[in-house]
Amino acid sequence: MGISYFRKYRGQAPGLRNPHLWILIVLFVFLTISHFTQILSQIPLFPEISLPGVLELSRHSLERFLYLLLMLYAGWTLGIVGGAAVWLSSAAAMLVRTFLISPNFTDALLESLSALVIGALAIILMATYRQTQRQRAKIRKTVKDMKLARQDYEELFTNASDAIWVHSLDGVITLVNKACEKLTGYPVSELPGKNVREFLTPETLFIARQVKDKLLRGETMEQRYEQRLIKKDGSEAIMQLTTRLIPGDGKPQAFHNMARDATEERRLQDNLQFYLRQVLQAQEEERKRLARELHDDASQRILLLTHGIDNIASKPEKYSPEELRNELGKLYDLSQETYQNIKHYAQALRPSILDDLGLATAIKWLGEQLHNLSGIEVQVRTDTTPPLPPETQLVLFRIVQESLNNVHRHSGASEANIAVECQRDEIRVTISDNGKGFKLPRQLSEFASQGKLGLTGMAERVQLVGGRLEVSSQEGQGTTIMVRVPTRLYAGTSS
């Protein structure tokens, strides 16, 4: 046994508290005394002790056998270090007697060497066995840990919120998780075996080929890229995707993909940009309209008023008292008309009734305005509303105003209903009509692309105050718009 072998097991030396160590020491001392009984018997203090004599064995064969048993016992209980120590001690005891005392040198040497060889082999075999057991225990633990890690990975893979799939170099899907079902519209069981080309248009297939070529060249996709996907129902989804190459045996084997549905996010961004452009355009158009109205109406009237006053002031002698009164009456009527028109323009921009009398009264005023303008019957029912922040009142007012404008311009309705209901934690405003209705898109974010900018603006206004907008309509059965805004964040008493 080499030095390196002992170094490997130097940390396994038996401690002094190990009972097997003391048993071995006692047995070894007793056995050694018996083995050297011929020398010790010459000392008066030691009587002759001979185990072979008791068992009628010659040449101390039993003691050498017992030394072998001690070696085995030490190797089993104390490990490689303890077994080696007992082996060396036994070798010293047996060989000293063989060379110095034994009358049958050849037999004694053969027996001693046989016991030592058997003992060394047995100790090495026991050490190897124990090392093998430790390695097996480590392997079992590693296998168990790998199974747990695999279970954790499978659970993470299966239940991940992002869609994850693996496809071969040819595009054949081999592995998918649950989120792929929501992304593609196909059940998980139908996806393996399909080719990713089935989900791509020619344009998006070109992007996929570019990504594939880049990865096969050894380059990496450090950031997500955008890709369009054709779902089972024929609709198109936009996904943000990361793709990496799976190698095996030094060669590319497959592609690992992770994607999340960014359709709604992209539509909101597109709608927001479109809406902002439309708002800017609408603002500009409104400025032009107000400038035109003020120029064509108010400014002309003020000009006429100015000319009339100038004529009276420059030539008062040409008017009799009665004519002067008539001219002044005309100027007064003209000034009143001008004042009313300017007041109407100001109310169209920001009606003071909302600030002065509150939301419920302002909504009733909107209903009256629609009836006076178009003859549509408008029924308004309002609960007592709690105090609301000005921005929330303005959002609700503008939504009702926009809804009634749509009723007037597009619905062809003969009547409309407005209901303001206050519940414990929200205020709900419902505007309905009996008009021609329209076909709803799958998502509210598609209103802008259909030209229904007003509805898109309503939805975004409601989101600003933490509420939500619900639109229901069917062709020939009218339209209902419901707005829900939370009130639990607002403190105050009902008014």
- Extents of the domains making up the chain: 3-147, 161-261, 280-349, 350-495
pLDDT in tens, 78-108: 778 877 888 888 888 778 877 887 777 787 7
Of 324 and 203, the structure prediction assigns the larger pLDDT to 203
Q: What percentage of residues in the chain have a pLDDT greater than 90?
A: 7
Q: How buried is residue 363: exposed, middle or buried, by Cβ count under 10 Å (0-12/13-18/19+)?
A: buried
Q: Are strands 377-382 and 415-422 parallel, antiparallel or unpaired?
A: parallel
pLDDT in tens, 17-61: 777 667 767 666 766 666 555 554 454 444 444 444 444 444 467
pLDDT in tens, 408-432: 888 888 889 999 988 878 889 999 9
What integer best gives the mean pLDDT of the chain?
77
**Read out DSSP for 30-69?**
HHHHHHTHHHHTTSTTS----HHHHHT-STTHHHHHHHHH
pLDDT at site 411: 82
Confidence grade of residue 280 (pLDDT, cut at 50, 70, 90): low
Pick the CATH number of 161-261 from 3.50.50.60, 3.40.50.10800, 3.30.565.10, 3.30.450.20: 3.30.450.20
Distance of alpha carbon 298 from alpha carbon 313, whole angstroms: 22
In three-state secondary structure terms, 239 is strand
pLDDT in tens, 303-356: 677 777 766 666 666 666 767 667 777 777 777 777 777 766 666 666 667 777
pLDDT at site 25: 73
pLDDT at site 46: 45
Closest to 246 measured CA to CA, from 195, 204, 212, 208: 212
CATH 3.30.565.10 fits 350-495, yes or no: yes
CB 433, CB 413: distance < 8 Å: yes
DSSP class of residue 172?
Answer: B
pTM value is 0.40
Of 489 and 401, the structure prediction assigns the larger pLDDT to 401
pLDDT at site 55: 41
Closest to 362 measured CA to CA, from 396, 339, 387: 396
Of 290 and 131, the structure prediction assigns the larger pLDDT to 131
Of 69 and 325, the structure prediction assigns the larger pLDDT to 69
DSSP E strands in 154-270: the ranges are 163-168, 173-176, 225-230, 236-248, 251-261
pLDDT at site 489: 47
Confidence grade of residue 138 (pLDDT, cut at 50, 70, 90): very high
Closest to 81 measured CA to CA, from 11, 151, 161: 11
pLDDT at site 139: 92
